[in-house]
A and B are shown apart, each in its own frame.
Chain A
Amino acid sequence: MNGSRWTIGFALLWAAMGAAQPGIGREIISKITIEEVLSIGALDDEALFQWTGVAADPDGFIYVLDAMDYSLKKFDLRGALVKKTGGRGQGPGEFMIPRLLDASPNFIFATDQNVAGVYVFDRELNYRKKILCPSLIAHLKALGDDRVAVAAMSFQAPGKILVLNDDGKVLSEIAYLDGNPGILMDSISFIPDAAGSFYLAFLFQDRIEKWSSDGKRVWSRSLLGGKKSVTKKISSFSLPGETCFKDIALDRRGHVLVLGGHLSEAPSRTVFVLDLQGDLLTTFVLPDTSHCLYVDRRNYLYARANDGVTLKKYRILYE
């Protein structure tokens, strides 16, 4: 009797704590809407031309990679351009195909598509160093000032997330593939949480997964009813032609946000909202198509508009 009382009491306390604490995925929400708070880049200005990656620092400054003028740009909280660096080239801090971006408290991490490494800039956009990587990089997230996680792009050993220190030493890895499903089928976007777990969205498979820091799959979900990407024959290769998902992010209230790809109801606009256990809570639709979804430390959501000429910043409203 005493034992069951303790059990019930503990369960009630645990449930109450879970409901009250932000960030652990127990909040019940029925609807999410977004409200635009900032727009950077218009047709007649020189702010953005084709942005590819976005990140924000703890003070709210916004950093953007632009593939059309090969630059890394810094904007203030009102969207005014503060500084610009980069340029086309293969020298330190230059880009040929600028692609991925993330920020730690003090540094900005950027990739160039055909470079096996991560460029490190300080918050004033001074180039600091290059973190060498064993392979090209398909996705990048900063884990702190001195660590990054990258999805390695490798034909020999596909399907790995590597955690690197700032000298390029591999500290740990997660092998997330079962077998070899084919070219590009290992492509993912991922987001780490504070506990060291990783949430993965497969770009060409209807799979969203959570992996623990010790490399074990925690759960796996399908959100598109098992739809498959139609493959295209290019030369002698069969390549997936449609994306299932494009990006994944975590908000500050414990939800996983997954940007649907070509196969979602509103292609490249539908955002699936999951709790941390992988249960689908709701969806919402971005006003314009995006390739990217980013949530900053203040819980603002960033997405693309006007085919990369415009960056939109939204407040997330929960009901």
Chain B
Amino acid sequence: MSDVTRATAAELGRMIGAGEVSAEEVTRAHLDRIAAVDGQVHAFLHVDAEGAIAAARAVDSARARGEKLGPLAGVPIAIKDVIATKGVPTTCASKILEGWRPPYDATIMERINAAGMVMLGKTNMDEFAMGSSTEYSAYGPTRNPWDLGRIPGGSGGGSAAAVAAYEAPLAIGTDTGGSIRQPGAVTGTVGSKPTYGGTSRYGLVAFSSSLDTPGPVTRTVLDAALLHEVIGGHDPRDSTSIPAPLPAIVEAARLGATGDLSGVRIGLVREFAGEGAEPGVAAAVREAIEALVKLGAEVVEVSCPHFEYALPAYYLIAPSEASSNLARFDAVRYGLRVGDDGQHSLEEVMSLTREAGFGPEVKRRIMLGTYALSSGYYEAYYGQAQKVRTLITNDFKAAFEQVDVLVSPTTPFVAFPFGSRTSDPYQMYLADLYTIPTNLYGGPAISVPAGLSEGLPVGLQIMAPTMADDRMYRVAAALETVIPPLTPPALSGSNS
């Protein structure tokens, strides 16, 4: 049998459904791969081997009973540690939640379980999804399978690295300012951020409620669409969930795979052109766009004059919401408790716990947000940022009157070496320069491999109007016919 860890999720689902391989064999192969390489990659914070094998066996029994299986039944998946998983540790890569086992499953976990998918474990991330490198994980960084001296992106570096290193064919990420797409770009994987409200946030530990969006991390566009279809759709437990059916995304991915983009209008954002993408990144993206043109797409330049204010607006809105969302970690009900020795007051216990339990980037954002929401500053900061958000949304709407999708580099630079951007938060924030506008607007966007620059992956970002996720899948799948999935160099200790 060929190495099942190299197969796509779509292939694995088909093979398991046809009885060519058992779900348990597939799961064991991935657990073996994790055991072999995760010591170097550190994509996982927790591996639930027992639970995974039990889930795989349940699928095999169901098949043996003649039950009809879904397209991803028995396919393993890694889950970002910000998603609540019943009975399985969920830490958000923070000391403050060390050892917390949620008594409930996130909606998307319920759907993943109902689809017969097999959770392998929980993946590493920047603490509370704040960061672009996983260097802010309280449990040590994840390493990029393309170069173990470099970052895998963030915040969802663990999910992206797990998929890139063949530890899992699929993973779940969450995208608040680029946390699915930027790791996808720098690890050579596909990272899809659905329309805000198109995937449920119930059970996603909130960073910034108006921006957080769970979505797929995969090696192929079709796999992303298949996973998106499993987790997507209205959830009555999330008030911001859109009460409408998902667009036909799997169909769109299959249509794109025919390699025909005739009639598709692609927009290039003029205001992004001058902004600092590395030359190698810019070149790879240019080539990818030329490839799209060869497939029949028409390219148009559009203007989005307010995009330049996206980064500052984001760094007011997201920290403001975070400062409130993270208040609940107060040592009273769960998680870490420091100073409960009869010598300290309740207030002191809360302070000591938060002091010890939160890392530097989380504290920085809580302070930023607390300031931005405080009386007398609210209008100047949070209020103003909301106005910018409206202007950016209007820019998108105007652009989508002219074009079907917008494209750009996913991130301005390839995977950078550890420690090179932690001393200057702004340099780190720049990693999300191209991804943040979409979050402020709420539309879908996907990052797909667009080749290499100096031997490291580059991502092309494709943005679409809200609830037109199908468009980005079509264009992404078409590009895949020209630029096939990338394979990282072999990791030591493994035969690949």
The reply to whether chain A is a binding partner of chain B is: no
Q: Using a CB–CB distance below 8 Å, which chain B residues touch chain A?
A: none
Q: Using a CB–CB distance below 8 Å, which chain A residues touch chain B?
A: none
